[in-house]
Every structure is written in structure tokens, then in C-alpha cells.
Amino acid sequence: MLLFALISLLLAEVPSLADEIWTLLWRRWMGTPLWPPAASGDTAFVASAGGEVYALKLKEGVAIWKFKAGRMMAGPALEGMVYVGDVGGNLYGLEGTSGKVLWVRSLWGEVRFPPACGSPGTYVVTGAGILYAFDRKGNERWRVRIPSIPLSGPAVAGGLVLVPCSDGGLRAYDAEDGRLAWISDVGKVTAGPSSAGDLVLAGCGGYAKALRLGDGGVAWSRFLGGRVTGTTSSAVEAFFVTSAGWAYCLDMADGRPVWKEKVGPSGDYGITASGGRLYISGPEGATILSSRRGEILRGWSTGEPARWAQPVSRGVLVSAGGFLYLFGPFTPRSHNPVWQEWAEVRYKGVKVGYRHAWAEEDSTGFVVSTDEVNWQNGFRRTSFRALTDSSYMLGELEGEYREADQLLTVEAKVDSGLLIAERRGPEVVLRDTFEVGPLVPSFALIRHLAVDSFSDSAVRVLDVRRLVPVEERIFSGPDTLDGVGCLRLEVGDGLTVWAEGSGRTLRVWSPSLKEEIRSVPQEEALAWEPPEIPLTVPLDVELPPFRKVGELTLRFPYPVELPSNGRQKVQRAKGCMEVKLTQSLPEDTTSPRRYLGPTVFLQTEHPEILKLAEKLSEGDPEERARRALDWVYSHIRPEETAAKFLTALEVLREGRGT
């Protein structure tokens, strides 16, 4: 009966992904994480090539803590604490909850591969060919010199520490005392080694091999073609992926082929197994396969080759192009909505995110919510929740803007003819009070108009992005959209909305911003598409202080003598010299006019620039600034011009630059 039960479990169908809607839950700039993360519950620990280690909250991608070593990091590994190494030869033991450095050990040689954890300690190999064993307190238990260059980090299996070497030997050392247990002459290891019960799996060039853990002898070997770049296993099957873009399932007992599946073009691939699924990274992105039959369940293009795809509690983490992505099943935030709308957001015809709006009944009216995601260059989520009466007149509002670790919250309340608004950011609180009448939150305007059959010609609206009241004039009339009858509304200056009589929004078009919001089914709205209009600077990278208006770094191959005027920072290292020149505005900026006049590069008195400025000069100073920003954002393509510095006039004429 036990055997029957085990076979039933092994052959049981894995829950299908087809019933779930997966989407991009978040992404953030990480600067190329070289190695897969170590995860524990809802926290993932990630090390980047820039020398930072992050503890990320998987739900939102927010950093709980960050540790910076200043050098390329290898790792992390996780067992009671976080272990990472760097190319300076340091091994760090960090507290998982805070990132506090518990101990540091200086090793002989660079640490270029992640440490490995296993009973009874942690193991790390250096570029000098030294294999170390440490306990949790950082005490060295033993070390051995490996007579060949290590090809990857150690793997722990069955009381042995396995290290593949450049001489074609896979060496196994006793985890207790470092004694050499066996050497297997398998050839150059290109994938693994990976523990699989009483076997060790490895890719060796074009061969998939299984070695006996007891003596290192070859249990079976099968030629797959291409170069084996990844290996993993389940209880009864071994999985391999090759540089030819094929994934293979082999019987664990004898290496007999079970299935194979084409997963992409030629390139470097990685593979991980979890929960009856295979997670594969490759030159085009990430793919999920069924481990039982090999069919492709889901896949995402990342625009750049994916370095790894690691399953975690909320989905799969993917590293590509310097960004860290989390793809996973979408969890609805709405419960029993009276109505809801899904739409995709497009900028210049390219999808850059989605919008979800819904309403739920409340004792005094409705709770109206909106959730908008923009993934054009990073990942920005904007969410609002408003308490309204039955005609969508505002009572209270709360919202937040979140991007990576940056968070801005807003609150507003209408009471006795006053709008009390508050915005909170890092160490900043801004409060405003306005005398107003009844207000409609801007994201519920069309629903409000539908209550009175679109009879209103002017409505007092709370612009939730600026958190200020504005009066919007409405002009409506019959129209068609995609051959279906509807209403067309002109809202304020330059905003056109197509809607049904019920108030359901079908399309929103802003010609000045080149932005379109179009109603689509939920699955289509949530479908990820790599951005085709990247910005020059990722939006989740901290920019330098605004007063620093110019910085130039010069590097000389030899030291030179330079007079100093207090704006130079000089560093000397190994016979070279680096000089950093900074131009800043004075602390007193009450009279900045002399810094804003025309220059060789900023031709503010040129007729073409004056003509454009006059066109954008309507309204108060804030409105003029917004018009200028909108115009530049819509007409100028962000572009670094390393070969030639473009002046303001050249940027205007060519429509590109910075």
C-alpha cells in the first residue's frame, strides 16, 4: 500500500498554471545579480556585481536592509545567517533579520563563487584553490588545497563537499575533516554538480552524467549534443538543459530519455526544479515547463538574456539586463466589486503598464479604488482608495506612489467645505487646505457623470495626482469606437474619453502626453511586454542632489601636479590619478537669475526657443512648468550623446538628447 501511495503521489497531476493569471509583480534595478538568491519565507537575499547585498520583501520588492562591501559579491548562501564572499577574499557572516555583520574572515584568494551550506557548516572555495570549512560563528574548521583551478562553487551532498576542477576531475572531500574521499575523471564540468539522492548529476561538455555518491564511479552517461549548461532533479528523474536550447528529462535509474522540449535559440541556459515545474533561464527570458511532460506552461521575454530564474514563494525571480523581476500569480485586491474595469496603458503606441479600477458598496455609498502599474523603465505602482457617496462625491481619500524603496503617501478629506490634503515622503510632510464645494475624485469622474446621464457641463474634480481641486468642463456627444456605439467626452483641455452609458470607460486619449488607456480583458491587461522605449536613467536609481549641476571626472595614467580651487577631489592609486571636478550652485539660491541666463549651450534668447516658450507660457508658474515638462516628455527622445554634446537648440531641432 505504501508503494502504491508513493507511486500515486509521483504520478499525480501538478496543479495547472492555466487557471492562474501570472503577471509582473514588480521589478527593480539591481546592477546584475550574478548568482541566484537565497530565499526564506517572504524574504529573498540577493547579491549584486556592484558589491551590495539586499534583503528584499518578496511581496513588494522593497529592501528590508542593504549591506555594501564595495566589491563584486559571490553568493548568497543561507543557513541561520547569510553568507557572502567578495573578490577581495573576504567571507562575511550577516544577520538575516538586520544585515548586521556578525563576522568577517579574510581568505587566501578571491571568492568568485557562492558559498555552500550543509551539515555541519559552510564551505567556500577561492581562486587560489583553497577549500575552507567554517562553523556558524566563523571559526575555521579545516582547509585543504585543491591541486587544480576550481570551475564553480562547492556543492554539499551526503556528507561530502564536491568541487569540479579545470583538470577534468570532480573531487569529493569529507565534510567533517576535509579528507579527500574520491576523484572522478569526468572531463570538464559545464553544469553542476547537483545532488540527486545517492547520485551526483553533472554536465560535461555535451554529455549528461550521473555519478555514484559513494565512490564517484559513473552510473550512466548520455550524449545530448550542444553543451550542457544546467542540471537539476526530482525524486525519480534528472533534468538537463543545453546550449542548443533543448531541455531533457532522463530516467534517474539508467539515463533513458523520457522527453525533450525546445525552449529557445542557442545560448546559455540554467534550470531549477520545484513543485513539479522546471524554471529555465535563457537568452530570450524565462520559461516554466511541466517536469512530468515537458510542455511549456508559461514564458516571458525580458529583452535581455536572463542569467537565472529562481522559484520563490510568490512566483519566480528572474535576473536580466541589470533588473530583478518577480513574475507570479496575480492576487485580486477587489472583493465583491459592484463594477470593475481593466485597461492597458500605452505611451506612443507602446504598452507600458495596466490600470485596474473597481468599486465596492459601503454603508454610505462606495469605496472606489484604482491601481495603476507603469513598468516602462523600472516599476511604479500608483494606488488610490476613496470613500464616496452614491453619486461618487468624495469624503476621504488615501493613496500611495511606490517605486523600489521610494514611497510617497497622500491623504485628503472634505469636511465643512474644506479640502485638507497631506503628502508624505522621506522626512517631508506637505499640507494644503482649500475652500471647496462637493468634489469628485478624478478616477471616478466618468462614473459620476453617468449617474446624471452625462448632463453635467462642469464638475469640480480632485486631481489625485497633484492633490488639488480643479474645475473640468465637459462636452459630450454620441460616437462609435471599434464599430460600437458609445459616448465621446471632451474633458478639460486635450483629454478625450469614450465611455458606455453605464459609465464604463472604453478609451482615454491624451494627445499632448501621447498616452492612451484602452479597456481590455483582465488577462490581456496583466500580460507583460518588455518596454520598447527605455529611458536613459532607470527611475528607481537615486539621483545626485539637485544643487550639483556639473561633474567631470578625468583619469590620468600617471600623477600630475594640478592647482586646486577647492572644487577638485584627487585620488591616487597604483601610479594613476583620478581628478573629479564639481560645479555646484551656492547654498543661497534666493537670486539665481545670473545662473539662468543664456550661455553657449543654453540659447534662451534664440527666436526658436522663445517661440516655443511663448506657446507654453499660459497659466500660473506651476502650470507653465508642467506644460514644459509635458512637451519635452512628448517630443524629445531621451538619449545620451557621447560622441557630441548637443546644445539646447540642437536638442530642439533634432528631437533627441538630454
Kindly list the averaged pLDDT for each block of 10 residues, start to end, along the chain of length 658. Answer: 35 52 91 84 88 91 87 76 89 92 91 87 91 92 91 91 92 93 92 92 94 94 92 93 95 94 94 94 95 93 92 93 92 89 92 94 92 87 94 93 87 89 81 88 93 86 87 90 91 88 93 90 92 48 38 53 51 57 47 58 78 78 76 68 60 73
Angle at 205 between CA 201 and CA 210, to 5 degrees: 20
* pLDDT of amino acid 586: 45
Q: Is residue 355 included in any domain, yes or no?
A: yes
Q: Amino acid letter at 613?
A: A
Per-residue DSSP letter, 18: G
Distance CA 618, CA 71 (A): 51
Of 361, 371, 294, 320, nearest to 525 by C-alpha is 371
Q: What percentage of the chain's residues is helix, strand, coil (to nearest 5)?
A: 10, 50, 40
State whether 617 and 513 are in the same domain: no
* pLDDT of amino acid 607: 83
Residue 578 structural domain: 548-586
State whether 478 and 570 are in the same domain: no
State whether 444 and 521 are in the same domain: yes
**3-class secondary-structure state, position 360:** strand
State whether 367 and 511 are in the same domain: yes
* pLDDT of amino acid 548: 38
Q: Is residue 223 included in any domain, yes or no?
A: no
User: Which of 491, 526, 561 is the last residue in one of the domains?
Assistant: 526
482-499 core/surface letters (b: 16 or more CB in 10 A; e: else): eeeebbbbebeeebbbbb
- Whether the predicted model's global pTM rises above the 0.85 cut: no
Distance CA 612, CA 654 (A): 15
Q: Is residue 449 included in any domain, yes or no?
A: yes
What strands, in cross-sheet order, belong to the sheet with 121-125?
Answer: 116-118, 121-125, 130-134, 140-145
Give strand pairing partners of 279. 272, 288
Which whole-number Å values give the CA distances from 487 to 214, 273, 278, 447, 481, in the listed order? 76, 52, 48, 13, 9
* pLDDT of amino acid 544: 36
Q: Is residue 233 included in any domain, yes or no?
A: no
State whether 558 and 414 are in the same domain: no
In this structure, what is the dihedral angle of CA atoms 287, 291, 295, 296, given to the nearest 10 degrees?
-10
Tell me the three cell numbers of residue 631: 512637451
State whether 601 and 572 are in the same domain: no
**3-class secondary-structure state, position 611:** helix
Residue 610 parent element (H or E)? helix 607-615
State whether 582 and 601 are in the same domain: no
In this structure, what is the dihedral angle of CA atoms 494, 500, 506, 511, given to the nearest 10 degrees?
-10
Distance CA 463, CA 473 (A): 14
State whether 347 and 428 are in the same domain: yes
Of 161, 156, 128, nearest to 142 by C-alpha is 161
C-alpha 313, offset from chain centre: 16
Distance CA 194, CA 208 (A): 12
State whether 561 and 430 are in the same domain: no
Q: Is residue 396 included in any domain, yes or no?
A: yes
State whether 474 and 571 are in the same domain: no
Give strand pairing partners of 464. none
Distance CA 91, CA 111 (A): 8
Of 308, 311, 312, 158, nearest to 229 by C-alpha is 308
Distance CA 442, CA 537 (A): 30
Q: Amino acid letter at 596?
A: L
The answer to whether 73 and 85 are in contact (CB under 8 A) is yes
Residue for grid cell 567571507: 91
Contacts made by residues 131-134, CB under 8 angstroms, sequence distance 24+: 131/161, 131/163, 131/173, 131/178, 132/91, 132/107, 133/161, 133/175, 133/178, 134/91, 134/105
Residue for grid cell 521575454: 301
Question: How crowded is residue 621: how many other Cβ atoms within 10 Å of its Cβ?
Answer: 7
Tell me the three cell numbers of residue 123: 564551505
Which whole-number Å values give the CA distances from 296 to 68, 286, 574, 604, in the listed order? 39, 11, 53, 57
Q: Which residues contact 582 (CB under 8 A, 6 or more apart)?
A: 548, 550, 551, 567, 569
Total number of domains constituting the chain: 3
The answer to whether 50 and 64 are in contact (CB under 8 A) is no
Parallel, antiparallel, or unpaired: how do β-strands 339-347 and 323-329 relate? unpaired
The answer to whether 352 and 328 are in contact (CB under 8 A) is no
Q: Is residue 278 included in any domain, yes or no?
A: no
Distance CA 229, CA 194 (A): 12
Distance CA 320, CA 303 (A): 8
* pLDDT of amino acid 569: 58
Q: Is residue 97 included in any domain, yes or no?
A: no
State whether 393 and 518 are in the same domain: yes
C-alpha 610, offset from chain centre: 41
Distance CA 613, CA 205 (A): 64
Distance CA 198, CA 158 (A): 8
Distance CA 536, CA 244 (A): 34
**Start-end of H helices in 466-601:** 522-526
State whether 390 and 450 are in the same domain: yes
The answer to whether 250 and 222 are in contact (CB under 8 A) is yes
Residue for grid cell 536638442: 651
Q: Is residue 99 included in any domain, yes or no?
A: no
Parallel, antiparallel, or unpaired: how do β-strands 637-638 and 656-657 relate? parallel
Residue 656: left if φ>0, alpha if ψ -120 to 50, beta else—which one?
beta
**Start-end of H helices in 460-589:** 522-526
